[in-house]
Amino acid sequence: MKIANKDISNGVFIIAELSANHGNDIQIAKKTMMAAKEAGADAIKLQTYTPDTITIDCSNQYFQLNQGTIWDGRTLYDLYKEAYTPWEWHKELMDYAKEIGIICFSSPFDSSAVDFLESLNVPAYKIASFEITDVPLIEYVASKQKPVIISTGIATMQEIDEAIAACKRAGNEEIILLKCTSSYPAKIEEANLKTMQNMKATFDVEVGLSDHTLGIIAPVVATTLGAKVIEKHFILDKAIGGPDASFSLDPQEFKAMVDAVRDAEASLGKIDYQLNEKKVKNRNFSRSLFVVKDIKAGEAFTKEHVKSIRPGHGLPPKYMISIMGKTARYDIERGTPLQWDQIN
């Protein structure tokens, strides 16, 4: 599967999530994009909504945040008014992304956002965790025939199945499911990364991780478990503040994550039992059978005469028992590697 010019089968697709980390300043947003590029991100992801497309301006009990989040005490409308990325920025930011060579796409939160993003020819779409139950939105996104990345943070297995079915009804099978823990920040012990492997086996799609834990351990472990996509919130400087700053990585932290993910990828390598030149050479340091006490022709080999020691120039140690009691074909000096032509 390709997202823009990136084939995710050739390496983990690493997304820097801009989210609300722009401080309501487009120049900060651009500097953040450049910093993400320099830190090794493959893509920068926006979020496309307005307070009025995602909720209503209402302060009754239903719209108050009081679920033990870092945003408790605010209304949904107030939070999204601070966090949203102005739509008038999108084209300029996406043009800038092309200029600096980083992929840019977004999460739409309603059909009007999809239509708007289509006008900008985004290369992929991301469905946020809290939108996974909006089956009509998912089907509409999938109908655009571009890769659909779906976070599963609040979903049951049935809801994941329904989201995938919505994509397939639209004729789109370019689906990536992201394991996600919808806590901000999430505890590392709640990451449950083994679920990612089960999602791949159960739903037969590519998988990855949308990570809200602090630090970089979860993305690295996810890579070793087969993640094809890693998404992490990114901020130019935590001093900018904002709703997502506390669980976002700064450029140095993000680069450390990218480097660790790439090292994890490299360490996986391939299934290989072949002995290359270096391995063959290193076999000289393995054990083998050596004569450790002078032995005369016709004399029987005993454990006093032969030992398994380093280096590896003699017969393999597995032949030790079968050699005991046999006789030397000729005189052999101590320190000589034992070979078959020395044995009667």
Using the Cα atoms of residue 313, residue 314, residue 317 and residue 319 in order, give the sign of their dihedral.
positive
pLDDT, residue 73, reads 85
Q: What is the CATH number of domain 277-342?
A: 3.90.1210.10
What are the residue boundaries of the structural domains of the chain, listed by start? 2-49+84-268, 277-342
Structure tokens of 90? 């999108």
- pLDDT at residue number 72: 87
Quickly list DSSP for 189-232: GG--THHHHHHHHHH-SEEEEEE-BSSSHHHHHHHHTT-SEEEE
Q: Do domains 2-49+84-268 and 277-342 have the same CATH topology?
A: no
pLDDT band per the 50, 70, 90 thresholds, residue 282: confident
Range 157-173 average pLDDT:
98
The answer to whether 163 touches 150, Cβ cutoff 8 Å, is yes
* Minimum mean pLDDT range among 8-17, 61-70, 152-161: 61-70
**Whole-number pLDDT of residue 225:** 97
pLDDT band at residue 249 using 50, 70 and 90 as cut-offs: very high
HSE-up (13 A, CA, CB side) for residue 99: 10
Residue-level pLDDT at 38: 98
Q: Is the pLDDT of residue 69 over 80?
A: no
pLDDT at 109: 97
**Beta-carbon neighbour count of residue 55 at 10 Å?**
19
Q: How far apart are CA 1 and CA 11, in angstroms?
A: 11
CA 56 – CA 241 distance, rounded (Å): 25
pLDDT digits (tens, 9 = 90+) for 85-130: 999 999 999 999 999 999 999 999 999 999 999 999 999 999 999 9
**Residue 342 clears pLDDT 90, i.e. is over it:** yes
Pairing of strands 288-291, 229-233: unpaired
pLDDT score of 70: 78
Quickly list DSSP for 138-190. Answer: HHHHHTT-S-EEEE-TT--HHHHHHHHHHHHHTT---EEEEEE--SSSBPGGG
State mean pLDDT over 301-310: 97
Q: Is residue 75's pLDDT more than 90? A: yes
Q: How far is CA 78 from the centre of its chain?
A: 33
Task: Work out the percent of the chain whose per-residue pLDDT is above 70.
Answer: 100
Task: Taking residues 41-60, report their average pLDDT.
Answer: 96
- Using CA atoms, how far apart are residues 103 and 12, in angstroms rounded to an integer? 14
Mean pLDDT, range 173-188, rounded to an integer:
93
Tokens of 11: 């390496």
Q: Which amino acid is located at 247 in the chain?
A: F
pLDDT of 68 > 80? The answer is: no
pLDDT over 80 at 67, yes or no: no
Looking at CATH, the fold of the domain delimited by 2-49+84-268 is given as TIM Barrel (3.20.20)
In the predicted structure, residue 190 carries a pLDDT above the cut 80: yes
- pLDDT for residue 154 is more than 80: yes
Q: Which residues, at least 6 apart from 76, have a Cβ–Cβ distance to it below 8 Å?
A: 54, 55, 63, 65
Average confidence score pLDDT of the chain: 95
Q: Mapping DSSP to helix (H, G, I), strand (E, B) and coil, where does residue 302 land?
A: coil
Q: pLDDT-derived band of residue 277, with 50, 70 and 90 as boundaries?
A: confident
Average pLDDT over residues 153-164: 96
Alpha carbon 87 to its chain's center: 30
pLDDT in tens, 194-211: 999 999 999 999 999 999
How confident is the model at residue 107, as a pLDDT? Answer: 98
What DSSP element (H or E) covers 61? Answer: none
